[in-house]
Structure 1
């Protein structure tokens, strides 16, 4: 009789332990940081590494505009061209005013090499021309957002043969507050964005 009670007690304790372990596993450990969730989401959608997504506001802006049709001279969600897309992005995300066309925008930036591009830098192209004809905004991992004349606002890869062929240069606004913001975010301190 004592053996039966002992076995029954051990089974009961075992079931309690298993039940407790399953309950602990099914409960979330901590509520995830919303900024980290947003970075992971945009990283997956745009094909950019999570550690490259330092500015959630930038990725949210791009995401909101993806699929907007191209319209030369357009500046709304009904249709937009490449320079107006860059203009709107800089206005809304960085509170900075750019020129209204790609050549004018290039005259405002400090040229930088492709190897030194950071999310938010401008990328310029000379497509079948001796002058700049196209602009996009670099988002990391060789990807850039732009308003394509054939597909509207989209994300493309600088290493695609077409873009590689016509790539001219990158550019960063002088006294760019993004550099400070990215450094603060990397240090784990409060971001200015």
Structure 2
């Protein structure tokens, strides 16, 4: 969670894998998981959705991944849950890494699933 918050306001870049060049949503997740937990997660948001164990919304813990359908295709966006119904993500080319709420109308309507990579 602290690594994710440390990246707030980092610029977005499609396909970006490091903060200096910019990060996209899956690049942000991969970078944070590698630095914070030593876990190598690679691939797109849809690829990441195939990994880990499903978690119900009521059982979310900080560090779990939350997935959304933002491009009219399943699992097209991913963020990291940080607690209190909030998540960190790299939203799009017009934005920077930021915190949003799962119950915000836009994200609540597009929420698809959550996964944990931890036991």
In the superposition, the TM-score normalised over structure 1's length comes to: 0.58
Residues 95-133 of structure 1: CA distance to partner in whole angstroms, max 9, x if unpaired?
111122111111112111111100000000011423210
1:20-99 alignment to 2 at 5 Å?
A: 58-59=1-2, 61-77=3-19, 78-99=21-42
> In the comparison of the two structures, how many residue pairs are matched?
117
Following the alignment from structure 1 to structure 2, what is the Cα–Cα distance between the partners of residues 125 and 162?
Answer: 10
Establish whether residue 144 from structure 1 lines up as the match of residue 84 from structure 2: no
Establish whether residue 156 from structure 1 lines up as the match of residue 100 from structure 2: yes
> CA offset at residue 152 of structure 1?
1.4
Give the gaps of 5 or more residues in structure 1: 1-57, 178-193
Following the alignment from structure 1 to structure 2, what is the Cα–Cα distance between the partners of residues 111 and 63?
Answer: 24
Following the alignment from structure 2 to structure 1, what is the Cα–Cα distance between the partners of residues 104 and 54?
Answer: 22
The residue that corresponds to 1:119 in the other structure is: 62
Residues 151-173 of structure 1: CA distance to partner in whole angstroms, max 9, x if unpaired?
21111100100000100011012
Q: Secondary structure at the match of 2:97?
A: strand
Q: Secondary structure at the match of 1:144?
A: strand
More helix by share: 1
Q: Secondary structure at the match of 2:106?
A: helix
User: Higher relative contact order at CA 8 Å, sep ≥6: structure 1 or structure 2?
Assistant: 2
Give the gaps of 5 or more residues in structure 2: none
> Which is greater in Rg?
1
Q: Secondary structure at the match of 1:63?
A: helix
User: What RMSD, in angstroms, separates the aligned Cα atoms of the two structures?
Assistant: 1.2
In the superposition, the TM-score normalised over structure 2's length comes to: 0.92
Could you list the structure 1 runs, at least 4 aligned residues long, displaced by more than 6 angstroms after superposition: none
Alignment match of 1:167 (pick from 104, 107, 111) = 111
More strand by share: 2
Following the alignment from structure 2 to structure 1, what is the Cα–Cα distance between the partners of residues 76 and 96?
Answer: 16
